[in-house]
Structure 1
């Protein structure tokens, strides 16, 4: 294990990086800071790769993207006070989505803790309390000898379902002080087991064995729990229609005869789910988006599976099964026989129902004159190789992608967990660090401005990310919402830069494309080395999900 150089005195920072290395970390994201100097000095004696962002919020998004893309734990180093606080919106997304991260924040020296009137630089009354809403737990380490065990415990907690970011604080003098603790040689962190209770599995099997109209909602927990194989088996046994939430996109084959794809925001799809006599909800809270903005009113019984106990029955009564989604699906699959009665949806087979519902959705879109939007999204999908991972900001293109994007063999990542702006580009940078494969990020011009400083990060680390910026001159989603609600939009229009020239000023190749030429522009960009940018100036509209056609 890498330690201090010959003759050098090891400090608390060395214990941090040695423990991370022993746990399997390869990469750290963050920005140096005054109280964190001991951490960064120790990095120079380690094998860890450091990726320096330009804004702490974006560093958090990058660590999040690294974890989503690789399945590993994202590691984030933060400085005290302003640096720590600036990261919180990024951590909110990781916490809401269940992304495992270990966050190591520096602190003021121990003697200043709680002494508000000392007036130390970056001092907060209680820094870790600021992180309480966006992390699973928070720890303050006051002695260097406690560092290895605390980080090992934090790593274990981060990877245990429900996964998420865990916060550790280490005071400046603990990081800098010499230590007698020997170099960390090994560390082990394994997730806690989270199986379903057997009596609940038995009850769920009873319900499903007699269901005539079963249906399934596959949320993000399905993917995090690696439950795809058992989901497919259960759906085929039951012949149950399956719809994927934006977070669960890719958990079920898009073109399967039982796949309602991801049209979770369309009322035709919502009608099918409401009609189910037994609805299985896996790894989803049935929250705002999944419930079609809380218009969803199921008439049948619900089986809800989730590792987070606070999610269960939070939006309606259900047979709540607290368990890792993968473990629960495996148990259900093993116990569930093929029902004796074939499902029947008021004279239709499930496969006929799914096909008819998708046709109705297409007919509704046809009636709304949305050919430009549908063509634009289809052209992006045609340009993106099947296995490429994509990261989407909260922008109109992403709202379309939630419903229409076939993830194929790649992975789809968006910011709908917390819904903050600026996730797409830094998240994609983190993914590219972890995989070294080309990644696509999609942003609007408003959300792009949250991340624009990270062009420097992309250039510095030569990361293969293609950034598609859809420039509609403002906050397009909010513009539509306000026009629909009030007949006019206020404060949604934005002055913006020439994104092509701005990217080029960072030394990053960029091109401007017409909406009809986005496929060619992306394909050419994907063939290049390193980072690049594609800018399309166009105004996209959202689709209306209500019954506009019979």
Structure 2
């Protein structure tokens, strides 16, 4: 006979090839069924060192696959450790599904191991940072609940879903020992209505110099052919890098640091106009704005708001256009990077070296801090290939994010860029990469300080506090794990080791330690 845990894993294995999780005593029967799936080649399983890293791995796996990412946690501390990854997925629109156990339903009023003191606590917390939350009460709930959860997660705007299972239900027998077949669920887009298409065409006909602004929501699908048919000059947000190749003739630059978006009309697709990318909303925008996004909460008063997915919107609009009457009128904005003369490695120099030496097939992930400002100057040539979390911005996420990304896309070059404080928070996840032979490059921007924090303290108070990062021999640490390490203290050393570091990263987890001048300030912060 098959138990509830077996049916649950039948469903999951019909939707994904890989899952993430950390086992515990509450989930023994779940992991026994998972063992069977792994042994039979129906699933691959990856165990992080902490749930924080595991949910982030599953989140980035989901982003790259445009499919759900699954993470299993036990209740109590396993659940609470998972919440940062869930909140990040909610902020970023990633279809992560957290499946957490809870204590036995029949003893819900008794105190048990990993008990939070209130049976509904996990559900109530999860509701605040997910698109939907479900609890399984019987084996009959599994097929419908899981199908509904997966559909909700994959509907634009995509986002996380929580499923909770009381541990005593896992062993309930539900039928014959045979695998249940389920239909595959795919990402679903939101299309504009006929009236919205007409409104858009009327809007475009009223413009003399329209500009296209593409954000993160536009960078997740291949929309270049539609953009080329529109023929409009394109600006991307930082999070929208990759929506159009940065060497494309229509690409005019990134929004960050601009004082004004030129043109008489703006078509903004997949952007929330957040504070960091708009200079705390100081950037001057054209008077007429058409704003396209599946999340209507980002629309502002006075805009023409179209609730639609980027790809679906552009497909519908370009099919209806009879004649293109506009052309590129902007001058491409060239990012100015300072050419410092001394031998110390600056952020700008490191960005230049990485940009020049990485493959065009690169996927770049930056962590929180000054390193993410530096990473803005690394060019991106493909969609869904640049991740710079300027909103939720969880420090210590870049390493597990790189692991999840590489699992989802093993053929591509994955680079995680992280500062030394962030690295100290998450380098334990490199054990997961070594254990599973996941080859990617971690670039450690090593300057001994929490750079961005210190800079802001100096500006506001003239003093610094708690910004020094304890000095560690990272090479010894990662070598003991099994990670290949390279180190550069000067510009010449960086130029000497960069090629070898990149080559090694295709074969195994690799760390490139780059000693950056602690007084360096990226050019973008000096404008």
**Superposed pair shares fold, TM > 0.5:** yes
Please name the residue that 2:396 is paired with: 422
Please name the residue that 1:5 is paired with.
none
- From 212, 226, 239, the equivalent of 1:247 is 239
**Is 1:293 aligned to 2:268, yes or no?**
no
Partner of residue 523, structure 2? 543
Cα deviations across residues 274-306 of structure 1 (Å, max 9, x unaligned)?
x43211110111112332222124241110000
- CA distance 1:179–1:329, shift in 2 (3 Å): same
1:487 pairs with one of 462, 469, 473: 462
- State the partner residue of 2:313: 328
**Residue in 2 that maps onto 1:121:** 113
From 280, 295, 303, give the equivalent of 2:267.
280
Aligned-partner SS, 2:497: helix
Query: Aligned to 2:85, what secondary structure does the other structure show?
Result: helix
Query: Structure 1 residues 503 and 545, CA, compared in 2 at 3 Å: closer, same or farther?
Result: closer
Note if 1:29 corresponds to 2:14: no
Q: Secondary structure at the match of 2:252?
A: coil
Moved more, 131-140 or 288-297: 288-297
Describe the SS at the equivalent of 2:256.
coil
Q: Helix, strand or coil: the match of 1:176?
A: coil
1:6 match: none
Q: What is the CA-CA distance between 1:188 and the residue it aligns to?
A: 3.5
Match of 2:373 among 399, 405, 415: 399
Q: Quick one: structure 1 residues 36 and 354, their matched pair in 2 at CA, closer, same or farther if it must change by over 3 Å?
A: farther
> Does residue 12 in structure 1 map to residue 4 in structure 2?
yes
Partner of 1:261: 253
CA distance in 2 between partners of 1:229 and 1:39 (Å):
45
CA distance in 2, matches of 1:66, 1:190: 15
Q: Is the deviation greater in 211-220 or in 62-71?
A: 62-71
- Aligned 8 A contact 2:291 2:303 in 1: yes
Give, in whole Å, the separation in 1 of the partners of 2:245 and 2:443.
Answer: 26
Counterpart in the other structure of 1:217? 213
8 Å Cα contact 2:247/2:381 also seen in 1: no
Alpha-carbon deviation of 1:129? 1.7
Distance 1:309 1:515, change over 3 A: farther
Structure 2: give runs of 5+ residues left out of the alignment. none
**Residues 33 and 79, structure 1, Cα contact 8 Å, conserved in 2:** yes
- Separation in 2, partners of 1:299, 1:188: 43
In 2 relative to 1, CA 519–179 (structure 1 residues): closer, same or farther, beyond 3 Å? farther
- Separation in structure 1 between the aligned mates of residue 189 and residue 62 of structure 2, nearest angstrom: 20
Q: Deviations over 1:179-204 (max 9, x none)?
A: 23764122332444521122122122
User: Cα offset for 1:339?
Assistant: 5.1
**Structure 1 residue 464: Cα displacement:** 0.3
For residue 50 of structure 1, give the secondary structure of its aligned residue in structure 2.
Answer: strand
Cα deviation for residue 489 of structure 1 reads: 2.0
Contact 2:369 2:452 in 1 (8 A): yes
Q: Residue 498 of structure 2 corresponds to which residue in structure 1?
A: 522
**Alignment length, in residue pairs?**
511
The verdict on how the C-alpha distance between 1:365 and 1:533 changes in structure 2, with shifts beyond 3 A counting, is: closer
- Provide the secondary structure at the position in 1 that maps to 2:173: coil
SS at match of 1:261: strand
Deviations 1:146-180 (A, max 9, x none): 11221121111111111111110111011122223
Q: Say which is worse superposed, 451-460 or 521-530, in terms of deviation.
A: 521-530
Q: Deviations over 1:2-52 (max 9, x none)?
A: xxxxxxx422111111001122x1111121122222221110111211100
In structure 1, C-alpha distance between the alignment counterparts of 2:48 and 2:463, rounded to whole Å: 38
Matched, 1:163 2:148: no
- Checking the alignment, whether the CA contact within 8 Å between 1:425 and 1:467 is kept in structure 2 is yes
Which of these residues, 474, 478, 487, is aligned with residue 512 of structure 1?
Answer: 487
Q: Distance in 2 between matches of 1:64 and 1:521?
A: 32
Between the aligned partners of 1:513 and 1:488, the Cα distance in structure 2 is: 30
Note the residue ranges of structure 1 that are not aligned, 5 or more in a row. 1-8, 344-349
1:459 paired with 2:446, answer: no
Return the alpha-carbon distance in structure 1 between the equivalents of residues 429 and 375 of structure 2.
24
Q: Which of residues 152, 168, 173 in structure 2 aligns to 1:173?
A: 168
The 5 Å alignment of 1:39-118 reads 39-46=30-37, 47-113=42-108, 115=109, 118=110
Listed as ranges, the matches of 1:304-453 within 5 Å are 304-313=291-300, 316-338=301-323, 340=325, 350-351=328-329, 353-355=330-332, 357-358=333-334, 362=336, 372-402=346-376, 404-409=377-382, 411-437=385-411, 438-453=413-428
2:509 is the counterpart of 1:531: yes
Equivalent position of 2:200 in the other structure: 204
Q: Aligned with 1:512: secondary structure? A: strand
CA distance 1:53–1:336, shift in 2 (3 Å):
same
Q: Check conservation: 2:100, 2:164, Cα contact below 8 A.
A: yes
